[in-house]
Amino acid sequence: MTGSKFITVEGIEGVGKSTHSRTLCEYLRDRGIDVLATREPGGTRLGERIRGLLLDAGEPPMHPESELLLIFGARAEHLHQVVLPALAAGRWVVCDRFTDATYAYQGGGRGISYPRIAALEQWVQNDLRPHVTVLLDADVQVALSRVRTRSAEDRFERESLDFFTRVRHAYLELATREPRRFRVVDANGPLQDVRRRIVAVCEGLIAAE
């Protein structure tokens, strides 16, 4: 098998990112690929603490720019401690959310300009970009209905339908801009159907090796 790959999984909440990141990792491991599974915000001790601040619905309101900087702070730590060493060792990295989430949530959702996000992206990541991004896309109400039964809502989950609609559209626009990197997967419908679509993406990844 060839060198490292950086694969990210994206989408609004409830589309099945966590579930299908696991599907992806299992499929790749079954084919002998050394895979590191990680997530953002988080993936390191500091990153998980920042994640706690970002998600805590009990925190006082946070300015969108503070939110953006915290996300990139967690990302810098994650890249230096986890992602870059794994890629340098030839491993594949599957990351549940990455910078496309920043464009979608802080850009599309909160209204921060893309050039401002791009400046931080370049500063923190240099030239690192995902090789492949799996965008799970589903109707906002379908996706939210899968997670709105959870007992306590976090700071993002409290946002409106309109917010998540903007986030979804931002993701789809990003995919349109970079069709070679993105694999858009229909995440509506039963779990097993979506799983089959993810396996098809995995087969494509392996065939491309």
Measured CA angle at 141 (ends 51, 187), to 5 deg: 75
Q: Does 198 bind ligand Z5A (CB under 6 A)?
A: no
Residue of 105, 107, 132, 185 that binds ligand Z5A (CB under 6 A): 105
For the chain, first and last CA: distance in Å?
7
CB of residue 209 vs ligand Z5A: minimum separation in angstroms?
A: 26
Q: Which of 122/208 has CB closer to ligand Z5A?
A: 122
Alpha carbon distance 136, 186 (integer Å): 6
Upstream peptide bond of 115 is cis (omega within 30 degrees of 0)? no
What DSSP string runs through the chain?
--S-EEEEEE-STTSSHHHHHHHHHHHHHHTT--EEEEESS-SSHHHHHHHHHHH-TTSPP--HHHHHHHHHHHHHHHIIIIIHHHHHTT-EEEEES-HHHIIIIIIIIT---HHHHHHHHHHHHTT---SEEEEEE--HHHHHHHHTTSSS--TTTTS-HHHHHHHHHHHHHHHHH-TTTEEEEE--S-HHHHHHHHHHHHHHHHHT-
Residue of 5, 6, 8, 17 that binds ligand Z5A (CB under 6 A): 17
Residue of 7, 14, 25, 120 that binds ligand Z5A (CB under 6 A): 14
Site string for ligand Z5A, 106-135 (x = CB under 6 A): x-----------------------------
Q: Does 182 bind ligand Z5A (CB under 6 A)?
A: no
CB of residue 194 vs ligand Z5A: minimum separation in angstroms?
A: 5
8 Å CB contact between 63 and 106: no
CB of residue 69 vs ligand Z5A: minimum separation in angstroms?
A: 11
Q: Does 137 bind ligand Z5A (CB under 6 A)?
A: no
Q: Which of 32/106 has CB closer to ligand Z5A?
A: 106
Q: Does 197 bind ligand Z5A (CB under 6 A)?
A: no
Residue of 7, 15, 35, 87 that binds ligand Z5A (CB under 6 A): 15
Segment interacting with ligand Z5A, rule: CB under 6 A, options 84-92, 94-102, 113-121, 127-135: 94-102
Number of residues that bind ligand Z5A (CB under 6 A): 24
Interface residue list for ligand Z5A (CB under 6 A): 11, 13-19, 40-41, 71, 96-97, 101-102, 105-106, 146-147, 156-157, 190-191, 194
